A and B are shown apart, each in its own frame.
Chain A
């Protein structure tokens, strides 16, 4: 079992650009959540996808959007990047109402 896989592992973008991060969930999981983790902080919930719909959303602006595909994989899109968007972006997958398993994350640096 490959677990939760995320790509890319590292990314450098310029302010104002757009970025897409990808996540493949653990086998048997149908729910995907995205978190942002700044250095020295705990992960902050961005949103969750289930059955290809956004099921729950945290306090993040509309610049953050996502998508879930029929195979349960997911993308996180961030538009008009700001320096403050630099963080570790984590994807977590789970079967509904079970514990979440996290991927290794994508380190995004905005310059």
Chain B
């Protein structure tokens, strides 16, 4: 069974204090690893897809990287508006369909 574990569960940063969120995964044949941002009471907002080990993607203050066992979401000089829950999900390549298996998320709070 596919498994996704995210750490830490919660993270409190000062504005400008860079850090990384971790996503460890176990999947039988990875088609893609996805990062989403979720604000309270809202649906997840797509951030990145990573397909193979060594791949990196950037968007503003966020950078996602992928190895064969884990992914990191690096946040550089965060601002209060980056406060949200960050979700990681995997999709397997076999079996048809596009089922996403999610972790429980990292709740990020950025303070002034």
Contact residues of A with B, CB < 8 Å?
4, 6, 31, 33, 35, 40-45, 48, 50, 55-56, 58, 88, 90, 92, 94, 96-97, 99-105, 107
Give residues 80-94 of B contacting A (CB, 8 Å).
Answer: 87, 89
Residues of A within 8 A of B45 (CB): 102
Residues of A within 8 A of B54 (CB): none
Residues of A within 8 A of B32 (CB): 99
Rounded to whole angstroms, the CA-CA distance of A92 and B34 in the bound complex is: 14
Specify which of B96, B102, B103 is in contact with A55 (CB 8 Å cutoff): B96
A45 lies within 8 A of B42 (CB): no
Rounded to whole angstroms, the CA-CA distance of A59 and B33 in the bound complex is: 21
9 closest Cβ contacts across the A-B interface? A56-B97, A42-B102, A102-B43, A102-B44, A45-B99, A104-B43, A42-B104, A105-B43, A55-B97
Rounded to whole angstroms, the CA-CA distance of A96 and B31 in the bound complex is: 13
A105 lies within 8 A of B98 (CB): no
A101 lies within 8 A of B98 (CB): no
Residues of A within 8 A of B78 (CB): none
Rounded to whole angstroms, the CA-CA distance of A88 and B46 in the bound complex is: 18
Using A43-B87, A48-B98, A107-B41 as known contacts, list a sample of 17 further A-B pairs with CB atoms less than 8 Å apart, ordered by residue number in A: A6-B43, A42-B105, A43-B102, A48-B97, A48-B99, A55-B96, A90-B44, A92-B100, A94-B98, A99-B46, A99-B49, A100-B34, A100-B98, A102-B36, A102-B43, A102-B44, A102-B45
B43 lies within 8 A of A100 (CB): no
Specify which of B46, B97, B98, B103 is in contact with A42 (CB 8 Å cutoff): B103
